[in-house]
Amino acid sequence: MKRVAVFIDYRNCFHLAREVFASKPFPKVTDGQFWPSELAQLLVEKAPVDERRTLTHVGLYTGRPDPRKDAKTAAANSRQLAAWMAKSPTLALKTRALRYPPYRPVSEAEEKGSTSSSRLTRC
């Protein structure tokens, strides 16, 4: 049996899922959200039947809001991360602080230099 590790860039997958599946023109705030461990397990289960695999690790990379600049979003993010960790023992989080450019609204925080409005091509 092969062991599998799945690595997910949450922000890109979130925006792609939102673009593909969310109701238009006014998607709900939760549209695009998913459980990383369940997505990883689904990918493993989609392997050919003759190639049995077991999920051993889920690596999740995501931005982390600054509670001093956006307390409400930071609190929601903390609850979301805690729920993910409680549900999956194989989940390993790698977070990175969001960047808040000067003279821009808090809603335009950036993750690793790319804005949330950038065009996404894959998950």
Show me where the domains of the chain are located.
2-108
DSSP run (H or E) holding 60:
strand 53-64
| Count of C-beta atoms within a 10 Å radius of residue 27 | 13
Q: Measured between alpha carbons, how far is 96 from 114 in angstroms, rounded to an integer?
A: 13
3-state secondary structure 1-18: CEEEEEEEEHHHHHHHHH
| Count of C-beta atoms within a 10 Å radius of residue 85 | 14
2-9 β-sheet, strand order:
2-9, 53-64, 91-97
Residue 116 has pLDDT above 60, yes or no: no
Mean pLDDT, residues 70-93: 92
Taking the model in full, what pTM does it have?
0.79
Q: What is the pLDDT of residues 26-68, one digit of tens each?
A: 788 888 899 999 999 999 998 887 778 899 999 999 999 999 9
